[in-house]
């Protein structure tokens, strides 16, 4: 579960950075790397980023339930 959380968090960060580049420079890094927005590979990356954001809602709401201090104190201790 920890590996999945780290992978999805990384994909959410990639998605956020991509949107930053779109907003600042009108440059879609995912599309540039994978041959355009309409390619199958770019679509897969977009879908994986979106699914990762949904997955990250689980630890977000768990952290909201236990409180921020408790959640941060236990980072890295749960598997």
Query: Residues 32-70: pLDDT tens digits?
Result: 999 999 999 999 999 999 999 999 998 888 888 876 556
Q: Does a structural domain hold residue 9? A: yes
Q: Does a structural domain hold residue 68? A: yes
Question: Taking the model in full, what pTM does it have?
Answer: 0.77
Q: Does a structural domain hold residue 78? A: no
What mean pLDDT is reported for the chain?
A: 88
Which residue range is the domain that position 53 belongs to?
2-73
Closest alpha carbon to 45 in 20, 37, 6: 37
Tokens of residue 39, six digits = 């390619």
Tokens of residue 65, six digits = 């339930």
Q: Does a structural domain hold residue 36? A: yes
Q: To which residue do tokens 């201090």 refer?
A: 69
Would you give the DSSP letter of residue 36? S
76: left (phi over 0), alpha (psi -120 to 50) or beta: left
Q: In total, how many domains does the chain have?
A: 1
Tokens of residue 77, six digits = 């201790």
Q: Does a structural domain hold residue 6? A: yes
Q: Does a structural domain hold residue 46? A: yes
């Amino acid at each position: 579960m920890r590996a999945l959380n780290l992978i999805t968090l990384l994909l959410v960060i990639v998605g956020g950075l991509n949107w930053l580049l779109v907003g600042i420079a009108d440059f879609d890094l995912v599309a540039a790397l994978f041959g355009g927005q309409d390619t199958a590979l770019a679509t897969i990356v977009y879908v994986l980023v979106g699914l990762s954001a949904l997955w990250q809602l689980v630890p977000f709401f768990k952290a909201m339930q236990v409180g921020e201090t408790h959640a941060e104190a236990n980072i890295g201790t749960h598997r």
